[in-house]
Amino acid sequence: MGLGVYLNVAVAGLLTGLVYGLMALGLSVIFGVVRVVNFAHGEMMSIAMYIAVVLFSSFHLDPLVMLVPIAAVMFVFGYTLQAGLINPFITRPEHSQFLLVVALAIIIVNALLIIFGPDARTVQTSYAYDSFELGAVIVDASKAYAAAAAIVVTTALFAFFRFTLIGKAIRACADNYTGALVVGLNVNHLYALTFALGAACVGAAGTMMTLITDVTPALGPGYTLLAFVIVITGGLGSMPGALIGGVLIGLTEALAGLLFTPSAKSMFAFGILVLVLLFRPQGILGRRLV
């Protein structure tokens, strides 16, 4: 195998990693502000993936076009979930919150199983087999579009938190819960909004993911774990950290798949998680800021 093969695989891993990063970003935003570990994150992504697959197979709507609508649907889903179910749990012990979300995750996975069955579904776009050649590197068109969309969404989210008043208010909630209450912020609404934004992120990531891989209900827990691995690697609560973690894990998985066997690739992601937890528990860019 020449260097070119490694380069190709690395680029593919990097592009997938950007989509992973967007998925993990949603988790990171939710944890950074609401302080609830969303253990149903991968399952929420499965929901978005199935919406994208159904829209494509029934109405031939391209996932790239449906990115915003699906993210909007997940936004509403996230808002309702936080406002209706999770909010009363904010003051409960950690394990209690955790179990609530685990229960949700179990319900989502199996509801998807009952509705769609265990078989893999996929989106066959017209550009599924297109590619760009950049010198020695051949870039898969679907992956490139997915990664580009992930970058756009991420940038929009960064801008939102940086420049808008609501973004600032959410950051204030994250920095100081009591302080936010004192200055009269509607914390419950802002929390729900944050959860909704996190859900929208994972919705967008899920929609893009359908361009890269197929979907089965059983994938949900795997994606949840992957999102956690990425976020902990990058630093829980750090937005750039989530992206860097995503790229790192994407690269690791791709290269491990090439050097060893693809089925063992997530072992390497877990290996990285263990190393990070042990030697830099706060993550690569971990700080307590959004």
Asked if residue 118 binds other proteins (CB under 8 A), the reply is: yes
Asked if residue 264 binds other proteins (CB under 8 A), the reply is: yes
Number of residues counted as binding other proteins (CB under 8 A): 40
Distance separating alpha carbons of residues 200 and 76, to the nearest angstrom: 8
Which residue, 4 or 84, is less far from other proteins as judged by CB? 84
Distance separating alpha carbons of residues 87 and 194, to the nearest angstrom: 12
Asked if residue 176 binds other proteins (CB under 8 A), the reply is: no
Which residue, 104 or 149, is less far from other proteins as judged by CB? 104
Helical axes 41-59 vs 3-34, angle rounded to 10°: 120
Which residue, 111 or 181, is less far from other proteins as judged by CB? 111
Strand partners, 132: 139
* Binding map of other proteins across residues 80-99, x = CB under 8 A, - = no contact: --------x---x-xxx-xx
Strand partners, 121: 215
Q: Is 83 exposed, middle or buried (0-12, 13-18, 19+ CB in 10 A)?
A: middle
Which residue, 103 or 136, is less far from other proteins as judged by CB? 103
Which residue, 203 or 217, is less far from other proteins as judged by CB? 217
* Binding map of other proteins across residues 12-51, x = CB under 8 A, - = no contact: -------------------------x--------------
Asked if residue 259 binds other proteins (CB under 8 A), the reply is: no
Rounded to a whole number of angstroms, the minimum distance from the CB of residue 255 to other proteins is 16
The DSSP element (H or E) to which 273 belongs, if any, is helix 265-279
Query: Per-residue b/e over 156-194, b at no fewer than 16 CB within 10 Å?
Result: ebeeebeeeeebebbbbbbeebeebeeeebebeebbbbb
Asked if residue 217 binds other proteins (CB under 8 A), the reply is: yes
Which residue, 142 or 233, is less far from other proteins as judged by CB? 233
Strand partners, 59: none
Asked if residue 134 binds other proteins (CB under 8 A), the reply is: no
| Contact status, residue 10 vs residue 254, Cβ threshold 8 Å | yes
| Contact status, residue 109 vs residue 220, Cβ threshold 8 Å | yes
Q: Which residues bind other proteins (CB under 8 A)?
A: 37, 88, 92, 94-96, 98-100, 102-107, 109-111, 113-114, 118, 217, 221, 225, 228-229, 232, 261, 263-264, 266-267, 270-271, 273-274, 277-279, 281
